[in-house]
Amino acid sequence: MNARRLALLGATGSIGVQTLDVLRTLKAEGYPLSVTALAAGTRVEPLAAAARELGARAVGVGGPDEARAIRTLLPGDVEVVHGPSGLEQLTRRDDVDLVLNAVVGAAGLRATLAALGAGKLLGLANKESLVVGGELVRALGPDPEAIIPVDSEHAALFQLLQGVERSEVERLWITASGGAFRDLPPAALAQVTAAQALAHPTWQMGPRITVDSATLVNKAFEVIEAYHLFAEDWAKIDVLLHPQSIIHALVELVDGTVLAQLGPHDMRIPIRYALTHPARLGQPPARLPLGGQSLDLAPMPPDRYPAFHTVLEAGTTGGTAPAVANAADEVLVAAFLEERISFPAIAEGLDDVLGRHRVQPADRVEAVEAADGWGRAEARRFVERAR
């Protein structure tokens, strides 16, 4: 097998650092994978250290200041690029076969489009690419095997659907832990703090996705992601509450059979699979102790997670609505983490901003980016009014 050559975007984040860990174990196992390029936003020291350790040929950073700073930390023959066009450049390089997109937010979209447009394999953690730009990604008509999802539920669906005829699928289910506040009475939610929201019951993740897991906005994003990856019909995708986060997804077939994918809640498992697919390699970071493990599944409660329904409606509406939902959510989550708005105000702000959005077709990246800018500005106004 030829060695795969990787560009890892978002190398300093939660998924990025876990990917570096997987790369170290793959290297120790002698697996043929080399790292051509690494990129991140602002934290140049850890990025430069990883680039030196892995012998990267190129690095990308957020802007010109970071580019100047990292230049002094790297050997002279390592190329330094910056900004959104820098990410695109890294993905298109001839010496890259596989791009792992672990950037957070809509900033990941252009890299996703560039990677697929250049015929690269894409390991996709950046779910926002599909949330805001799903229609653009589909318009590229990528080979269904070219995108290997890293998000645990979608990695599970990807594996479950191998060898299954689409006409035999009755329904796709993804699971949700219910987030940090699943056991609180709704009246207590107005008082919860950022620190409490960041304590996810089962997964260790970046700050935005952890708060999105408490509002279940993350789950609405994941339904949208599943729609663009695997389904043509919104009615065929559903969510189950599953507090143990052991079953990641289920596929119900027309004959009543239900297939489920289970695994430890450790993102290094889907990351490793995205890097080595279709091969499966040993030495997992954890194994599931199945004996004595209880598995609870429950339907989504209708009223507890208002932001889930608002964002899902934006997804089914399509066009620029999901881009506005994502942008507004990013601003509202940041305001909540800075203790400028309450936790329930995240859902209220989404409802307010989306209620005023005039949906346009999302047929160009520029249309998506304009909607993103509008959603951010409107959410900032909501935050000002809410204070």
User: Footprint of Mg ion on this chain (CB under 5 A)?
Assistant: 151-153
Q: Which stretch binds ligand NAD (CB under 6 A): 7-15, 272-280, 337-345, 371-379?
A: 7-15
State which of positions 161-220 bind ligand NAD (CB under 6 A).
Answer: 203, 205-206, 209
122 binds, among Mg ion, ligand NAD, none (CB under 5 to 8 A by kind): none
Closer to ligand NAD at the Cβ: 14 or 36?
Answer: 14
133 binds, among Mg ion, ligand NAD, none (CB under 5 to 8 A by kind): none
Closer to ligand NAD at the Cβ: 42 or 191?
Answer: 42
What gap in Å lies between CA 193 and CA 214, rounded to an integer? 12
Report whether 245 contacts 203 (CB < 8 A). Answer: yes
> And the tokens for 120?
């690269």
State which of positions 102-131 bind ligand NAD (CB under 6 A).
Answer: 102-104, 107, 125-128
Closer to ligand NAD at the Cβ: 169 or 239?
Answer: 239
Supply the minimum distance, in Å, between the C-beta of residue 10 and ligand NAD.
3
Count of chain residues binding ligand NAD (CB under 6 A): 27
> And the tokens for 30?
């002698």
Q: Cis omega before residue 284 (within 30°)?
A: no
The answer to whether 39 contacts ligand NAD (rule: CB under 6 A) is yes
Closer to ligand NAD at the Cβ: 265 or 352?
Answer: 265
Closer to Mg ion at the Cβ: 153 or 369?
Answer: 153
Supply the minimum distance, in Å, between the C-beta of residue 36 and Mg ion.
27
x/- contact string, 250-269, with ligand NAD (CB under 6 A)?
-----------------x--
> And the tokens for 325?
């939902």
- Which of 41, 243, 349, 375 is the binder for ligand NAD (CB under 6 A)? 41
- Which of 38, 40, 217, 331 is the binder for ligand NAD (CB under 6 A)? 40
- Which of 5, 6, 12, 372 is the binder for ligand NAD (CB under 6 A)? 12
State which of positions 54-73 bind ligand NAD (CB under 6 A).
Answer: 62
- Binding residues for ligand NAD, rule: CB under 6 A, are 10-16, 39-42, 62, 87, 102-104, 107, 125-128, 151, 203, 205-206, 209, 267
